[in-house]
Amino acid sequence: MPMKNPPHPGDFIRTEIIEPAGLSVTAAAAALRVSAGAVQPAERQGRPFGRNGPEVEKAFGVKMDTLMRMQVSYDIARTRKREKEIRVQRIFADAHP
């Protein structure tokens, strides 16, 4: 059964890696060799580290695959929360739910 509130990968990186290591967003960005602006939106759950995945993997040891699965789960959960607002007519009555 899917999680109703899966963590955002940016939140995971912040709470499980950046904060325990005593790093700031600026220091984490320096470790990744990216701008703080590239890390900060992800840390604020605005978007995943995405294109910085290889750097995150090398610097912090979190596999890109894991972060991408976390992002997909997070996105699906957000969509499920608003599914009652989605107004479309089913095209195929036999379609799987």
Nearest to 76 by CA among 1, 15, 10: 1
Domains of the chain: 9-85 (1.10.260.40)
Q: Supply the pLDDT for residue 20.
A: 93
Q: Are the C-beta atoms of 40 and 34 separated by less than 8 Å?
A: no
Q: Which residue has the higher pLDDT, 43 or 39?
A: 39
Q: pLDDT by residue (tens digit) across 40-71?
A: 655 555 555 566 777 788 888 889 889 888 88
Q: Can you give the pTM of this predicted structure?
A: 0.70
What backbone torsions phi and psi does residue 26 show, to the nearest 5 degrees?
A: -60, -45
Q: Supply the pLDDT for residue 64.
A: 86
Count the helix, strand and coil residues of the chain and give each as a percent rounded to the nearest 5.
Answer: 60, 0, 40
Q: Which residue has the higher pLDDT, 40 or 27?
A: 27
